[in-house]
Amino acid sequence: MEPTGPEFEGFMPAHLAESVLFDDRGDAGRRLVRALPRELRRPVVVGTTRGGAEIGAEVAAALRAPLDVVIVAPVRRSPEYEYAVGAAAPGAAVYLSDRHGMSAAQSVVAVARAHRLAAHDDILLHEHCRHLPLEGRDVVLVDEAITTGATMAAAAAWVRERDPARLIAAVPVGAAAGLELVRGLADEVVCLYEFEVIGSRAVWFGDFQRPEDDEVRRLLEATR
């Protein structure tokens, strides 16, 4: 779940207002894999969200690689506060873009809340499929899009903790500032379409229905 803010809500560059780049996540995944580096060492594909796992499943199938998923939760000042100031993956992985007036103590509470949410959902998805070992392997980290970059940043930190040989961040569409952030964290970034601002990620897909947990589990089990 990519953190969003008021500046992104409903915004779309005027000349792209009617644009749909991908039929669905499957279409995005099949096109994304063609842009990946040709030489990958024992690749593992990791989706950063449920939707990222659905795109990642297409990438994994083409690479004949296993699929994993890590759930990333937004860091918010409070559960009711809409604007996210960062993102957290299970464990220690976290990215904070700005405290937005929060004290150090409030930041600790907000990060802990996000960690609990991410860990809870992550455990549910891995009930029968444990996380794959990533040490010494090329990891292709996939999401639906990059807006602020916070989700991918937290997911990249989670992957780095597992000592991969190489980390490749891959998305169908991304915003310039978010991509710039991620380029400083990954060994390589692959993005099919880059714009200054991308608005809601849903507008780029003809079908953006979110996959249910059972479907994500099925995708994980199919590659093991």
What is residue 5's predicted lDDT score, i.e. its pLDDT? 33
Cβ-count burial 11-40 (b if 16+ within 10 Å, e if not): ebeeebeeeebbeebebbbbbbbeebeeeb
Is residue 77 within 8 A of residue 111, CB to CB? The reply is no
What is residue 1's predicted lDDT score, i.e. its pLDDT? 35
**Position 180, amino acid:** E
What is residue 93's predicted lDDT score, i.e. its pLDDT? 87
Q: Given CA atoms 95, 101, 104, 110 in this order, what sign does their dihedral have?
A: negative
Compute mean pLDDT per 10 residues along the chain, 224 residues long, and list them.
33 51 94 95 95 96 96 83 83 79 83 92 90 97 95 96 97 96 97 92 90 93 84
* Cβ partners under 8 Å of residue 130, min gap 6: none
What is residue 19's predicted lDDT score, i.e. its pLDDT? 66
Domains of the chain by start residue, with CATH: 14-222 (3.40.50.2020)
Is residue 147 within 8 A of residue 2, CB to CB? The reply is yes
What is residue 82's predicted lDDT score, i.e. its pLDDT? 66
What is residue 107's predicted lDDT score, i.e. its pLDDT? 85
